[in-house]
Chain A
Amino acid sequence: MTSMTSMTSMTSAIRANTRLLRKKRMESFLEALLQDGLVFAPVRKGEMLLFERIESARDAVLGQRNTKNSPKSALFPQTERLFAYRHHKEGLAIEAASTGDKERVLFGVHPCDARAHLLLDRVFGGSTEDPYYAEKRRKAIAISIACTHPDPSCFCLALGGGPCSQEGSDLLLLDLGDSYLVEAPSERGRLLLEDKSFEDADEESFDKAELIKRTAESSMQPAAPLWEKATDEGMEKPLDALFDDPLWNDLTESCLSCGICTYLCPTCHCFDISDEAGAVTGERIRTWDSCQFPLFTRQASGHNPRPSAKERFRQRIMHKFSHLPKNVNMTGCVGCGRCVTECPVNLDFREVLLALSKNEAT
């Protein structure tokens, strides 16, 4: 700590919106949230950690590695009814889907996943708002927990995030041992801090938190670059120029064309719409879809512009690192590492990007 005073002034703004939550108070705090809303949290299922709706505060598991599935399903479910209909004598009755007016608490989210919602906001929001997503999102509260032990597959730092990043969170918890230091980056979070479960944080807690943060960040240093000659302009241009590079063939040869990387990804958001039609009643549903499936682009004529794993894998990379930055001004990847750890053939796209960047025209 070189200059205590400058650090203090720097953090004073944060400190005003930071309080302490004793771990023994956590359960009652969560129970209160469960009273008013739907709470989603990491839960242990066998040897797996899943992000699911919980009914009891005791089911939430905090401070573990990231969950197998991402929290996006709380805002963008894999299967979602858009409307239902019923034929009757006078005609057709349509019943709109409603998500109800309950708050949705996304509890124990990792900072990478909380950031992912900012990307989803841009895709589903803006001038053509998706009402199904937006309605849930407006009532959502993200209570994140800082990552104190990032995994080898984590690379949030390389994408502008960090193990203790506040972006996209309403509250950010930092594990101090017997308590959490709780930062409130948003207005909604600040309101939550007024709850009686919280108390004022002492100087010692702030110091401890600072140390933990720096340890977490330095454990991920140096952040491996995703692109060899990274520039401020990003990877869009060089990636676009490498669209036809023969290297894609070699790099994607092992790809199984399964949907794991897209379905577990916190930012992938493509969907399909279909009708579940019965004789009298039916419903229109939307379901997640994956650009890794041949059917995703197969046209009615039978022609498929992305006929093999190569084109489909390339699409996923291009969408995240070229198209989304151009269209919504944000990279479609937060570095959670799920696609790296869960790929059955360990097709690590970080290596794909690095290999491509070495082929970049000089």
Chain B
Amino acid sequence: MSSVSSMSQLTREIRESARKLLRDGQVQVVIGFERGSLPLRSRPCFVRREEDIDRLVWDGCCETNLARYLPKRKEKAAIVAKGCDSRAIVELIKENQVHRDQIVIIGVPCNGMIDGLLIEAKMGRGSIVEDEGSAEKLILKRTNSEEILDRTDFLHEHCKACTHPDPVLYDVLVGQPSAEAAKDTFSDVEAFGARDEEGRWAYLVHEVGKCIRCYACRNACPLCYCPECFVDASQPRWVGKSTELSDTMVFHLIRAFHLAGRCVACGACERACPMGVDIRKLNRKLQKDVKDLFNHEAGMSLEEASPLADFRVDDPEQPMVDP
């Protein structure tokens, strides 16, 4: 990834696009990012007036998947989209949650988002880091000096493994497209699969055991848009209310199944999780299964049907019920 634009350049271009779109009345709102209230935090912002346009920024902390804010929106919206955000938008359009002509996508090639927890863990509390747009380096600011850090050391795990950093669908592209991204080898899924059954189960039990059922994973997920989630249903009640494993595990397993063939691997669930649950372990396995069985990757094309919402006469699998 050599051809990168500086963050301030991207910020400028995003603001220019936003200004034009709002001024021309093409959209009523621009959904992007603004600087947050804490170091290393940028956050969603909704710009409707020209005087708010300069709140928009782009940096290595724009970790929310903004596609989450599109369904049910009545106004015409422009949205700042990384590779993963754009893939979620593709899925939402295919699932009739968003109308293509109701949105304008401002695509931004992404260098991966920085994990503030990792910076704190490795560099100490209160570390101040500057991200100038290079894919390779971060600048750690000390009182009287600076230190160059390897940016890739501080990315979120799923960003390190990202195979589609560039937007797949956009109306305006700011910055330069990245060079070829790595091909997904699913080596993580294979490594996990190589463990014996007890080992796999023990790992999942350990991870799900941390869950406090705040549902941040579900609510941050752009594709978890069910009007009523199965865990919230009370008539009938599908799952208990406790934090016992029998309840939390059901939530995570069913959620993973619901996302099979739809999850765009953005990692928004894990970034939102306060307890550090390895939520994507299950999603990644299903992603691989869908790839192996149907040669399908979610969110890559508007035309390609979703394998689990489609029917083929030459389906490789026999029907599960006797005719």
Are A346 and B37 touching (Cβ within 8 A)? yes
Query: In the bound complex, what is the Cα–Cα distance between A295 and B213 (angstroms)?
Result: 14
**Which of B214, B219, B272 has its CB near the most chain A CB atoms (within 10 A)?**
B214
Are A256 and B37 touching (Cβ within 8 A)? no
A77 to chain B, nearest CB (A): 9
A48 to chain B, nearest CB (A): 6
Q: Which residue of A149, A258, A345 contacts B125 across the interface (Cβ within 8 Å)?
A: A149
Are A258 and B212 touching (Cβ within 8 A)? no
Q: Which one, A27-35, A100-108, A228-236, A285-293, is touching chain B? A: A285-293
Are B242 and A346 touching (Cβ within 8 A)? no
Are B215 and A344 touching (Cβ within 8 A)? no
Report if A46-B276 is in contact (Cβ < 8 Å); known contacts: A79-B242, A258-B219, A344-B216.
yes
Judge if B170 is at the interface, Cβ distance under 8 Å. Answer: no
A69 to chain B: closest residue by CB: B212
Are B275 and A256 touching (Cβ within 8 A)? no
Count residues on chain B whose CB falls below 8 Å from chain A CBs: 38
A347 to chain B: closest residue by CB: B43
B218 to chain A, nearest CB (A): 8
Question: Residues 101-126 of chain B: 1 if any A CB is under 8 Å from the residue's CB, otherwise 0?
Answer: 00000000000000001100100011
Are B275 and A68 touching (Cβ within 8 A)? yes
Judge if A201 is at the interface, Cβ distance under 8 Å. Answer: no
Q: Which residue of B39, B220, B243, B271 contacts A258 across the interface (Cβ within 8 Å)?
A: B220
Are A257 and B219 touching (Cβ within 8 A)? yes
Are A345 and B215 touching (Cβ within 8 A)? no
| Interface class of chain B by DSSP | loop
Are A287 and B232 touching (Cβ within 8 A)? no
Q: Which residue of A79, A152, A341, A346 contacts B43 across the interface (Cβ within 8 Å)?
A: A346
Q: Which residues of A contact B117 (CB under 8 A)?
A: 47
B59 to chain A, nearest CB (A): 13
Q: Which residue of A78, A345, A346, A350 contacts B243 across the interface (Cβ within 8 Å)?
A: A78
Q: Which residues of A contact B45 (CB under 8 A)?
A: 254
Are B271 and A344 touching (Cβ within 8 A)? yes
**A322-358 at interface with B (beta carbon < 8 Å):** 340-342, 344-348, 350-351
**Which of A250, A258, A348 has its CB near the most chain B CB atoms (within 10 A)?**
A258
B244 to chain A: closest residue by CB: A79
Q: Which residues of B contact A290 (CB under 8 A)?
A: 214
Q: Which residue of A65, A295, A340, A345 contacts B64 across the interface (Cβ within 8 Å)?
A: A345
Q: Which residues of B contact A259 (CB under 8 A)?
A: 212-216
Judge if A272 is at the interface, Cβ distance under 8 Å. Answer: yes
Q: Which residues of B contact A264 (CB under 8 A)?
A: 274
| Interface class of chain A by DSSP | loop
A261 to chain B: closest residue by CB: B214
Judge if B307 is at the interface, Cβ distance under 8 Å. Answer: no
Judge if B58 is at the interface, Cβ distance under 8 Å. Answer: no
Q: Which residue of B241, B274, B276 contacts A272 across the interface (Cβ within 8 Å)?
A: B241
Q: Which residue of A149, A256, A276, A346 contacts B38 across the interface (Cβ within 8 Å)?
A: A346
**Which of A256, A294, A351 has its CB near the most chain B CB atoms (within 10 A)?**
A256
Judge if B240 is at the interface, Cβ distance under 8 Å. Answer: yes
Judge if B46 is at the interface, Cβ distance under 8 Å. Answer: yes
**B203-234 at interface with A (beta carbon < 8 Å):** 212-216, 218-220, 232, 234
Judge if A244 is at the interface, Cβ distance under 8 Å. Answer: no
Q: Which residue of B36, B37, B274 contacts A260 across the interface (Cβ within 8 Å)?
A: B274
Judge if B41 is at the interface, Cβ distance under 8 Å. Answer: yes
B268 to chain A: closest residue by CB: A344
Q: Which residues of B contact A342 (CB under 8 A)?
A: 274
Query: In the bound complex, what is the Cα–Cα distance between A46 and B120 (angstroms)?
Result: 13
Query: In the bound complex, what is the Cα–Cα distance between A294 and B234 (angstroms)?
Result: 13
B182 to chain A, nearest CB (A): 25
Judge if A95 is at the interface, Cβ distance under 8 Å. Answer: no
Q: Which residues of A contact B243 (CB under 8 A)?
A: 78-79, 287
Q: Which residues of A contact B71 (CB under 8 A)?
A: none
Q: Which residues of B contact A151 (CB under 8 A)?
A: 125-126
Q: Which residue of B38, B213, B219, B272 contacts A152 across the interface (Cβ within 8 Å)?
A: B38
Report if A258-B216 is in contact (Cβ < 8 Å); known contacts: A287-B241, A295-B232.
yes
Report if A293-B215 is in contact (Cβ < 8 Å); known contacts: A79-B242, A256-B272, A274-B240.
yes
Are B121 and A47 touching (Cβ within 8 A)? yes
Report if A256-B216 is in contact (Cβ < 8 Å); known contacts: A285-B242, A342-B274, A346-B41.
yes
The contact sample of 26 A-B pairs, CB cut-off 8 A, is A47-B117, A65-B125, A68-B274, A68-B275, A69-B212, A78-B243, A79-B243, A253-B44, A253-B46, A253-B69, A254-B44, A258-B215, A259-B214, A259-B215, A260-B216, A260-B272, A263-B213, A264-B274, A274-B241, A276-B242, A285-B241, A340-B37, A344-B274, A345-B44, A347-B43, A350-B37
Task: List the 9 closest pairs (A to B, CB-CB), nearest first.
Answer: A344-B272, A259-B214, A258-B216, A346-B36, A346-B43, A348-B37, A256-B219, A79-B242, A254-B44
